[in-house]
A and B are shown apart, each in its own frame.
Chain A
């Protein structure tokens, strides 16, 4: 039962254009969403997040959009740069029975930005 889904395993974009990475979730109890960037053999690096009370959060070239009714979020990168090439994970935040935060990750989308 995959609660967070990233249906596109890969995406290829030309430098300077917009990259749009999509993520869907099924559990309406999630109230915080995050995007992480990961290079091979490294741990994920936090990129940007959004609370469920918002529908947009912007940080420089990165913007995350949340559509709660559709249980869908997306990450927009504009303009895309070759250094953005990595695997991007969508994560949703909920709470464990013990009261600590738990992140549920999607399978990731490998973004390649071509020069």
Chain B
């Protein structure tokens, strides 16, 4: 089955620094990956759609200069939170899939804490 690996699973960083989160599809090629953010007791909010070889498509209200997405290969997408602030503390999850309808596989998520 499709496996998506996300790293790191948790990270603590100082305010003002940048953090990179990796999302890898291990046994399939993913031309599209998705990045979500989840606040406590809230739904998963789509931040952006990451397209291999082209610019990511950001959802309304998501700052593209703050959340840099790079999808340089068919198996790797990265999300960099730049100049992180405490309000960026959240659970970030990526997803990818082989088929076009629905059954996307999610990574295990990254808990980011900015202090």
Task: Show the binding face of A for B, using Cβ within 8 Å.
Answer: 2, 4, 9, 32, 34, 36, 41-46, 49, 51, 89, 93, 96-98, 100-108
Contacts and interface: CB of A to CB of B under 8 A. Distances in A.
B7 interface: no
Interface string B71-96: 00000000000000000000101010
Contacts of B4: 43
A98 B57 contact: yes
B51 A100 contact: yes
B19 to A, nearest CB: 17
Question: B interface, by DSSP: helix, strand, loop or mixed?
Answer: strand
Contacts of B43: 2, 4, 89, 105-108
Contacts of A32: 101-102
B104 A103 contact: yes
A108 B41 CA distance: 8
A43 B103 contact: no
Given A32-B102, A93-B101, A98-B57, A104 B46 contact: yes
Given A43-B95, A105-B43, A96 B57 contact: yes
B105 A100 contact: no
A49 B46 contact: no
A112 B114 CA distance: 32
A51 B100 CA distance: 13
A81 B103 CA distance: 24
A44 B46 CA distance: 14
Interface in B7-21: 9
Given A49-B102, A96-B57, 18 more contacts: A9-B41, A32-B101, A36-B106, A41-B91, A43-B4, A43-B108, A43-B109, A46-B104, A49-B101, A96-B49, A98-B51, A100-B49, A101-B102, A101-B104, A103-B44, A103-B104, A104-B46, A108-B41
Contacts of B102: 32, 34, 46, 49, 93, 101, 103
